[in-house]
Amino acid sequence: MKSIALFPGSFDPFTAGHLNILGRALTMFDEVVVAIGINQDKKGFFSNEQKMDIISQATKGMKGVRVIEYDGLTVDICKQLEIHHIVRGVRNMLDFENERAIADANRRMAPEIETIIIPTAQEFAHISSSAVRDILKHHGDTSMFVPEGVILPPVK
């Protein structure tokens, strides 16, 4: 039986840190589903189409990666896809505490689904999607913060 994990997030945009977590998750699972969450209350910087394109660029040639978008609770998409593991990345202790709280809530709603928290490699710990968005807004060079080969759409 194939082991599959869900790697959910807004990925606005997908960064080199996200790619690091994904690559490490692929050492534990046969397949990792990168799931772009749709938040009705938030307008993303990038459209979901753009996010799908960015992630596709970043993961080109990687085996065992599937990209989807979903709306609703993460545990519900896990149940729908029959996935029993959620992968989350953390950069620091603040991220960890937040992710642990979410994992605890998910466990209460769906005890059969386990969350695996992976700390990002140190060289990516300073990278956040919000920092990349800020650099883009000010027309800076984001190439050192996004996966090699990814070309972010220009800011209007």
| Active site members | 18, 42, 91, 129
Decide: 116 and 88 in contact? Cβ < 8 Å.
Answer: yes
Long-range Cβ pairs for the range 24-27 (8 Å, 24+): 24/118, 25/87, 25/116, 25/118, 26/62, 26/63, 26/64, 26/65
Query: What count of other Cβ atoms lies within 10 Å of the Cβ of residue 117?
Result: 16
CA proximity to 83, closest of 55, 51, 116, 108: 116
DSSP state of 140: -
